Amino acid sequence: MTEADQALKARIRALAYEHGFALCHFTRPRIPAWHRAALQRWLAQGFHGTMHWMADSERLQRRIHPHALLPGVRTVISLAMRHHPPAYTLSEALHAKGRGVIAAYAQGDDYHEVMKKRLKALARALDALLGRHDQRVYVDTAPILEHALAERAGLGWQGKHSLTIQRDIGSWFLLGELFTTAELPVDRAASAHCGRCRACLDVCPTGAIVAPYVVDARRCIAYLTIEYKGMIPHALRPLIGRRVFGCDDCQHVCPWNRKVVPADEDLLGVRREHVLPDLAQLFLHDEEAFRARFRKSPVRRTGRAAMLRNVCIAMGNDGDPRWRTPLRKALDDPSALVRAHAFWALTRLGGETKMLRAAVAREQDPEARRDMLRTLQEQKETS
Ligand code: SF4
Ligand code: SF4
């Protein structure tokens, strides 16, 4: 690399830091063969669950051939924006009776919005620096194998839990990309440093990390509580515990996160009421109240019904009889999803047989009714 190349990269990196990014690395728009093969195997096994867009052939082609996203793209700039790690240990989260757990990245503003603004501002600064070039910015919005590109760019390696890890800042960060037609000098790919560790595989409450680097989304609590909008499989409900939006367990135990010093600036603005929130306060029966509570938060994207479904499961797993009152009310919720999960949670809290039978009798939604009958059947089998 010439001195001029080095100076240009240093200038771009400095601009990225000024715009709030902690890491900024460069690569060509190519996905290494092993990442392509791993993706194909993952899809063939159905590990993407209901995320059908991931298997869509046109989108898949763009995912494995990133140059198809922007004609003439020569360089991918991979960027990391840090968020605050959880303010509690995994053990504290697991023992916080009556409290729900929201993943650390989702405890403040929606990172998609925050990062996109910063990426766009960075892109404007690059326009001034690079002159004629085309560019596009992405934050989890296009079919991009962002972890594979980050690894190739030397930003960090993909850990066995499938997230990207960097030696100094661990894995508490989010990725974004800037594609440009300008040909910039690239960085060396990162090497992996998981070694023989398998802490994430062992801690995963649902056994979702079925092999190193392979996460079966259908079992992953992050997918189940955020992406998945249907009835949660009965066998997984008890394993979800009180996690109401996402899951950080595999990151909590990662040795690379042990000594990480949080960033000075809290770019997403953690809200205290979203740090181990009181389950009672998450039980928002009203759509307007839900939108107000989760204004600007990524939780809002999941929608009230799916979030309440998660809160019902958390209450059932929490085991406190005081949750019977809100759960009884939820048996008449407008959402069949909420009614079925409230039913499951009430069964778990015990008693109320007459009232539960009445709820089945008046249930009009066939899927919710089936789910309730299944709950009763399971209860019979275990009693
Ligand atoms: S996010 Fe949670 S459920 Fe998903 S792989 Fe990690 S530990 Fe397992
Ligand atoms: S917990 Fe261990 S195996 Fe898992 S990502 Fe971290 S270092 Fe790798």
Nearest ligand atom owner, CA of 204? 1
pLDDT at residue 363, as a whole number: 97
DSSP, residue by residue, 97-130: TTB-EE-GGGSSS-HHHHHHHHHHHHHHHHHHHH
Helix ranges, the chain (H): 3-18, 33-44, 57-64, 90-94, 111-130, 146-152, 199-203, 221-222, 237-240, 249-252, 279-282, 287-293, 299-302, 304-318, 324-330, 336-349, 353-362, 366-382
Nearest ligand atom owner, CA of 217? 1
**Of the candidates 157, 148, 195, the residue with the CA atom closest to the CA atom of residue 39:** 148
Rounded-to-integer distance, Cα 234 and Cα 378, Å: 9
pLDDT at residue 245, as a whole number: 98
Q: Are strands 214-215 and 209-211 parallel, antiparallel or unpaired?
A: antiparallel
Q: Is the pTM of this model over 0.85?
A: yes
Atom of ligand 1 nearest to the CA of 203: 7
Residue pLDDT tens, the chain, 383 long: 788 888 999 999 999 999 999 999 999 999 999 999 999 999 999 999 999 988 888 888 888 888 888 999 999 999 999 999 999 999 999 999 999 999 999 999 999 999 999 999 999 999 999 888 999 999 987 788 999 999 999 999 999 999 999 999 999 999 999 999 999 999 999 999 999 999 999 999 999 999 999 999 999 999 999 999 999 999 999 999 999 999 999 999 999 999 899 999 999 999 999 999 999 999 877 899 999 999 999 999 999 999 999 999 999 999 999 999 999 999 999 999 999 999 999 999 987 889 999 999 999 999 999 999 999 999 988 87
pLDDT at residue 226, as a whole number: 97
pLDDT at residue 3, as a whole number: 86
Between the CA of 97 and the centroid of ligand 1 the distance, in Å, is: 21
Between the CA of 274 and the centroid of ligand 1 the distance, in Å, is: 20
- Please work out whether the CB of residue 198 comes within 6 Å of at least one atom of ligand 2: yes
Atom of ligand 1 nearest to the CA of 251: 6
- Please work out whether the CB of residue 255 comes within 6 Å of at least one atom of ligand 2: yes
Local structure of 162: helix, strand or coil: coil
> What's the one-letter identity of residue 262?
P
CATH top-level class for 278-383? mainly alpha
End-to-end Cα separation, the chain, in angstroms: 71
Nearest ligand atom owner, CA of 197? 2
- Please work out whether the CB of residue 254 comes within 6 Å of at least one atom of ligand 2: yes
Each domain of the chain, given as residue ranges in start order, spans 3-85+108-180, 278-383
Local structure of 32: helix, strand or coil: coil
- In this structure, the chain runs to a length of 383
Q: What is the 8-class DSSP label of residue 86?
A: P
Between the CA of 162 and the centroid of ligand 1 the distance, in Å, is: 10
The best mutation among 161, 203, 204, 248 to test binding of ligand 2, ranked by most ligand atoms within 8 Å of the C-beta, falls on: 161
Q: List all residues whose CB is within 6 A of at least one atom of ligand 1.
A: 161, 204-206, 208-209, 215, 220-222, 247, 249-250
- Please work out whether the CB of residue 147 comes within 6 Å of at least one atom of ligand 2: no
Between the CA of 245 and the centroid of ligand 1 the distance, in Å, is: 12
Q: Which residue has the tokens 């009152």?
A: 325
Nearest ligand atom owner, CA of 212? 2
Check if the beta carbon of residue 148 is closer than 8 Å to that of residue 33. Answer: no
The residue whose CA is least distant from atom 2 of ligand 2 is 197
Atom of ligand 2 nearest to the CA of 159: 5
140 is known as an active-site residue: yes
Residue 323 structure tokens:
């949750």
Local structure of 175: helix, strand or coil: strand
The residue whose CA is least distant from atom 7 of ligand 2 is 194
Rounded-to-integer distance, Cα 218 and Cα 43, Å: 12
Check if the beta carbon of residue 340 is closer than 8 Å to that of residue 277. Answer: no
Q: What is the 8-class DSSP label of residue 27?
A: E
Between the CA of 295 and the centroid of ligand 1 the distance, in Å, is: 26
Q: Are strands 75-82 and 101-102 parallel, antiparallel or unpaired?
A: unpaired
**Of the candidates 379, 97, 94, the residue with the CA atom closest to the CA atom of residue 240:** 94
Catalytic residue among 5, 110, 134, 140: 140
